[in-house]
Amino acid sequence: MSVLAFDQVTVTARMGGRKVDVLRDISFALEQGEIIGLVGESGAGKSMIGRVISGLLPDNFSVTGGKVEFDGDNLMALGKSQRRALLGRKIAFIPQEPLSALNPVRTIGSQFGEHLRHIGIESSRRRGLMIERLKQVQLRDAEEALLRYPHELSGGQCQRVLIAMAFAGEPALVVADEPTTALDVMTQAHIVRLIAEQQGLHHTALLFITHDLRLAGHVCKSVGVMYAGDMVEFGPAAAVLKAPSHPYTKSLLAAMPALTGPRHVLPALSDHMPGLASFAGLAGCRFSPRCPVKDPSCANTRLPVRQVGTGHWVRCAEACGRADIAAASAMVSGDPAGDRASVDFENVRLSYHAARGFLGLQRSRFDAVKSATFKVREGEILGIVGESGSGKTSVGRLIVGLERPSAGTIRVNGSDQTYNVIHLTRRDTQLIFQDPQSALNPRRSVMKLLTQALEVGESYKPEQQRRPVAEALLRDTGLPPDCLDRFPSQLSGGQRQRVNIGRALGAKPNLVVADEIVSGLDVSVQAHILNCLLDLNRRRRLTMVFISHDLAVVRYLCSRILMMHAGEIVEEGATESVFANPQHPYTKALLDAVPPESADRPWPPMQ
């Protein structure tokens, strides 16, 4: 008997008067001691499955078809209190945001203790059990940690606590919803290993929800790929990764830049995943409008499930399954960089001073950047890699002049810019901000955002003459022509990031600093943006500094990289040689922390 069995489950949302199926005919079975991965981009409905299990569907959503069985009981037939009794005891969750899942005003011990009381552990045993479990998840000083508040621990440490809590009641099922998305790459590897260890130790059934197909391939026995509320492919992880059968799975894998092997131009899917509002118009395969295999019949008829291997099925037409997606073209190779230095940092330090103690009389110094010396050559794309807190964002802000260095000199295009105020002088260096939500003024239309640079200074143009400029920027960034009059809230995440890029280009910079601009995006959208940046670099000889924590993305884009760790540059060199032969232990550790393309290579690495 399966621990968890979904049988043709359909979830319907009422939107106004209409009914929309947000999940359609979801079927899978999870056995004891097994890990199943649910993979998909944002909006695929994978978290909705977690909500069906917990019974916490949004107000106007309800399960309208099929049944969910947990340990042989029909979950839908159980009363509210019976279901609540299951949560925590029999079904546990590991959340996406560890910090917001813990109550900030209560200690770890008090929250963990309450959880143990809830699952029926008598008070005399609680403390011992907590310490034992926290030691199991390798939290240093477990006794000490019980007295700490969540903000005193790092995100990874909080996630360890939550993992310990989830497995504390020996549940039959654990649902981990993107447990590592909010964490650094290095932490991700640790956390994934811990979850797998705990799962093996307690022989729990684990449902692992993630957007990272490669990660799922390494963690899970079987993988289900979700798209717009459908499960389009399901099968053994190795089979899905090696021989994907659905065009969406193929495109998803093809759109992920690789860490090894020759570099290919990433094939990117057009458009983005449809939203709830457009589900009604997609009666058949919801992927059909974006499908590289154009078969009009799929759009209107619901296709049956087709077996392609042992336990491996796909919901797609026979012909489509055979079609080859990506005729990958090799990258234009060669180093585009010239000899002149666009940016030149010499022993640059950036310190922050914090007032401490009584009346702030004592001051403490924190060096965000300890001492940075490097050059960005004209026309190249330089990658700066590091974890959060490594100082890479500070370097970016120093380059464009949003921060002034505490020591050292910065030369931009040959002239000393160390102490210049950014107004007036530095329009030729632009920064593309990480989060377009914050970087785009919600009250400006796309037209006004793109032409913002024309409102002041030398490049001033009267309003009537701005439209052609905006239209040219739309073309450069690959945005549809009809979005000029829209506002940021009416764009998708990928489109917003394009507007963000377009606004920086509108100032006609010769150097652009891109700060983690693809980290919040889905893989297929990310491929689009990366190709757009490559194109700008090649065609316009635009110099770029690309800041990222994602090694595969950096390898795809950059000819040279800097590795930063704790405010210092620990390694510098041509991308290929750094990847092939990393020198600094930190670089090695970082490279090992990334799940490899091939499912055959064991990952996560043992400690």
Q: Which of 154/437 has CB closer to another protein? A: 437
Q: What's the closest the beta carbon of residue 555 comes to another protein, in angstroms? A: 25
Amino acid at site 567: G
130 near another protein (CB under 8 A):
no
Give the residue from 544, 545, 555, 556 showing the smallest Cα distance to 591: 555
Closest CA to 440 of 379, 376, 492: 492
DSSP string, 446-485: HHHHHTGGGGSSTT---GGGHHHHHHHHHHHHT--GGGTT
Strands (E), 519-605: 543-548, 560-565, 568-574
Among the listed ranges 27-35, 337-345, 503-511, 552-560, the one in contact with another protein (CB under 8 A) is 503-511
- Name the minimum Å distance from CB 33 to another protein: 27
Q: Which is nearer to another protein, 401 or 604 (CB)?
A: 401
Query: How many Cα atoms occupy the beta-carbon half-sphere of 200 within 13 Å?
Result: 10
Is the CB of 23 or the CB of 145 nearer to another protein?
23
**Residue whose C-alpha is closest to residue 25's, from 6, 10, 13:** 10
Q: Which segment (68-76, 266-274, 410-418, 531-539) binds another protein by CB under 8 A? A: 266-274
Q: How far is the CB of 77 from another protein (least distance, A)?
A: 26
* CA atoms within 13 A of residue 280's CA, in its CB half-sphere: 9
* Stated length of the chain: 607
Q: What is the CA angle 393-372-585, rounded to 5? A: 85
Report, in Å, the least distance between residue 427 CB and another protein. 5
**In whole angstroms, how close is the CB of 321 to another protein at the nearest point?**
27
Q: How far apart are CA 565 and CA 390, in angstroms?
A: 5
Interface residue with another protein among 309, 457, 468, 605 (CB under 8 A) is 457
Binding of residue 175 to another protein (CB under 8 A): no
Interface residue with another protein, options 2, 10, 15, 584 (CB under 8 A): 15
Three-state secondary structure of 323-385? CCCCCCCECCCCCCCCCCEEEEEEEEEEEEEEEECHHHCEEEEEEEEEEEEEEEECCCEEEEE
- DSSP state, residue 122: -
The stretch among 371-379, 478-486, 538-546, 593-601 that binds another protein (CB under 8 A) is 478-486
DSSP SS3 for 316: coil
Report strand pairing: 381-385 vs 560-565.
parallel
**What is the nearest approach in angstroms of another protein to the Cβ of residue 309?**
28
Contact flag: residue 42 with another protein (CB under 8 A): yes
Q: Does 442 bind another protein (CB under 8 A)?
A: yes
**341-356 and 362-377 beta bridge pairing:** antiparallel
Stretch that binds another protein, among 77-85, 152-160, 449-457, 533-541 (CB under 8 A): 449-457
Site string for another protein, 62-101 (x = CB under 8 A): ----------------------------------x-----
Which one of 22, 161, 255, 534 is in contact with another protein (CB under 8 A)?
22
User: Does residue 337 contact residue 355 with C-beta atoms inside 8 Å?
Assistant: no
Type and span of the H or E element at 376: strand 362-377
φ/ψ of 187, rounded to 5, equals: -65, -35
Nearer to another protein, 221 or 486 (CB): 486
Candidate list 272, 315, 377, 498; residue touching another protein; CB under 8 A: 272
Peptide bond into 171 cis (omega under 30): no
Strands 407-412 and 341-356: antiparallel
Q: Can you say how many angstroms the Cα of residue 529 is from the centroid of all Cα atoms in its chain?
A: 14
**Could you tell me which stretch among 330-338, 422-430, 577-585, 586-594 binds another protein (CB under 8 A)?**
422-430
Question: Rounded CA gap, 232 and 248, in Å?
Answer: 8
| Candidate ranges 79-87, 132-140, 283-291, 416-424; the one touching another protein (CB under 8 A) | 416-424
Q: Please, how many CA atoms are within 13 Å of residue 109, restricted to the half-sphere of its CB?
A: 14
Residue 388 binds another protein, judged by CB under 8 A: no
Of 3 and 23, nearer to another protein (C-beta) is: 23
Q: In the range 479-498, which residues lie near another protein by CB under 8 A?
A: 483, 485-487, 489-493, 495
Nearest approach, Cβ of residue 132 and another protein (Å): 34
Give me the least distance between CB of 313 and another protein, in Å please.
Answer: 24
x/- site string to another protein, residues 354 to 373, per CB under 8 A?
Answer: --------------------
Query: By the criterion CB under 8 A, which residues form the site for another protein?
Result: 13, 15, 22, 41-48, 96, 178, 211, 272-278, 400-402, 422-424, 426-427, 429-431, 433-435, 438-443, 445, 452-453, 455-457, 483, 485-487, 489-493, 495, 503-504, 506-507
